[in-house]
Amino acid sequence: NAGVTQTPKFRVLKTGQSMTLLCAQDMNHEYMYWYRQDPGMGLRLIHYSVGEGTTAKGEVPDGYNVSRLKKQNFLLGLESAAPSQTSVYFCASTGNRGADYSNQPQHFGDGTRLSIL
């Protein structure tokens, strides 16, 4: 049981390049989230998903797109990377329909360190 797996772990991009970050969970969770964490700051929600085929905007969605084509995967895309998107990106998941899936803690991946030059 791997939990939440993020790939890649590190990436350096040039301004204007595009890339996709992958998040995979094997806990049959309904809800998945993408956060960014900047130095000395907390976690800010970019986008989230409440189930396969659904996505919604969070606090800081501009410049990012997401897709959840399969329940276990949540993809975060940067179409045209900007230096302001240099950050550590965390994926999280929660909510197992096998039980009372509300009010359960989030499980986080190890993060992706993204630098944009």
Residues that bind another protein (CB under 8 A): 30-31, 33, 41-43, 45, 48-50, 56, 90, 94-95, 101-111
Q: CB of residue 91 vs another protein: minimum separation in angstroms?
A: 10
Instruction: Output 77 or 111, the one with its CB closest to another protein.
Output: 111
Instruction: Output 17 or 43, the one with its CB closest to another protein.
Output: 43
In whole angstroms, the minimum distance from the beta carbon of 95 to another protein comes to 6
Specify the residue, 17 or 30, whose C-beta has the smaller distance to another protein. Answer: 30
Least Å from the CB of residue 1 to another protein: 16
Q: Which of 50, 52, 12 is nearest to 31 (CA)?
A: 50
Contacts of 88 (CB under 8 A, 6+ apart): 36, 37, 38, 111, 112, 113, 114
112, containing H or E segment: strand 112-116
State the Cα–Cα distance between residues 45 and 57, nearest whole angstrom: 8
